[in-house]
Amino acid sequence: MDWSKERRLLKAAGYEIPEAASSYRPGGYPRLGLSPLTATLSRRSVRLLGEQLERSEHDRGNTMFQAQGLSKMDVRLANELVSVFMGLSERYPSVWVDRINFSSSSQAGAGALAYAEVSTTNWPAVYSLSVAMGTVSLGELLEAVSEHEDLSPALLRKLRSETRHMGQHMVGRDLQSHGLISLHECFSHPRCYGTLQAYWQWRNDTARATGRPVRLVENQVSAASFVLLHEFGHVVEGALVTLGDEAYEKVLGALEDGVLRHGDGRLKLSDYRLRQEGLTRRDTHLVNYPSYTDKAFSDAATRRSVRRVVGGAVADELGSYAKVSRDEMFAEAFALAHSAKSPELQARLAPFKQSLVDVGLGVSRRRARRL
């Protein structure tokens, strides 16, 4: 990721490029619950940090977990991100990430700073069959499938299609995990990381100056930690999907109340505005908001109207990136529920965060794990 052009433009616009090290937070954010309860993580060795993280995950039953990319990082930043990840792991013990690369050279798309590969989204047939057959490796799954003659042709075609795209990518992966997370190596390069921070500030300043919602809502964590929170949120949503429609709608309903209602409970979207756009109240429910993984609306005009009306209200609370899709909305809401600077926004998102506990993905009180 080459930020040379952006760096020159930012300097020309009067923006100071911060020293990346000034944002490193070894130890994570204990006050926010984004650090392990009692574990003392190494602040001198990235190798030992990786071993501590892997041992912690293996001890809780996530036996195929791998931590990658830490060797490329300053130990202070590595400690920060491992601390945040372990805090999340303690808070959401039912969410399984089987691999995290803290400094990857690969990208999911142009300019992508991170990505989460969610099992129920990327490999739905592989995931569902691995759970049904009690297998965790691709080889075991294909062998088990070959012995079952009662599987539907459609499911087998889907399985073959998915496995063709997996290749070496799935070697050593736990098929029953909810996903993997990969952070771009930009965070491990001080020059790139510093430029990124200045760019995000410029982007928000430009939005405010033109009266538009900011891209990134103010929060209490570093850029790298916020991206990790966001990607973990994608995996949480993937885990939520496995619990069924009732659980999913419960959580989306809690998020909807937080972002589409005023503090006194009144709906932000008036019936008059909805009539202008040809929308019904049902269209405005977040469970119907367009997403990457399903087609809630077959009508493109309706999807545009929903993004314009509902997305606009969501962007006012969660930032403009949240309105891109329901998937990004969920991930941004998750990240801000744990890190928002505004006490009012934290209060709005508290029921959403609690709903993840209510459906069984999270816990109200974390349990310490020894290393």
Q: What is the number of H-type helices and E-type strands within the chain?
A: 14, 4
Domain assignment of residue 15, yes or no: yes
- Give the structural domain span for 156: 124-170
Domain assignment of residue 305, yes or no: yes
Structure confidence at residue 55 as a pLDDT band (50, 70, 90):
very high
Structure confidence at residue 298 as a pLDDT band (50, 70, 90):
low
Domain assignment of residue 367, yes or no: no
Q: What is the pLDDT of residues 127-163, one digit of tens each?
A: 999 999 999 988 888 888 888 878 888 988 998 888 8
Number of other residues whose CB lies within 10 A of the CB of residue 264: 5
Question: At 114, which helix (H) or strand (E)?
Answer: strand 114-118
Angle made by CA atoms 286, 94, 81, in degrees to the nearest 5:
90
Same domain, 185 and 298: no
The answer on pLDDT for 296 being more than 70 is no
Same domain, 150 and 283: no
pLDDT for 85 equals 98
Same domain, 315 and 274: yes
Whole-angstrom distance, CA of residue 104 vs CA of residue 145: 33
- What mean pLDDT is predicted for residues 258-263? 88
End-of-domain residue from the set 138, 170, 202? 170
pLDDT for 295 equals 55
Same domain, 314 and 332: yes
Same domain, 261 and 319: yes
The pair of structure tokens assigned to 32 is: 């926010």
Nearest to 356 by CA among 226, 269, 258: 258
Domain assignment of residue 365, yes or no: no
pLDDT for 54 equals 97
Domain assignment of residue 364, yes or no: no
The answer on pLDDT for 335 being more than 80 is yes
Same domain, 194 and 101: yes
Domain assignment of residue 255, yes or no: yes
Same domain, 299 and 326: yes
pTM above 0.85, yes or no: yes
Say how many domains are in the chain: 3
Average pLDDT, the chain: 91
**333: exposed, middle or buried (C-beta count within 10 Å: 0-12, 13-18, 19+)?**
buried
The pair of structure tokens assigned to 61 is: 């039953």
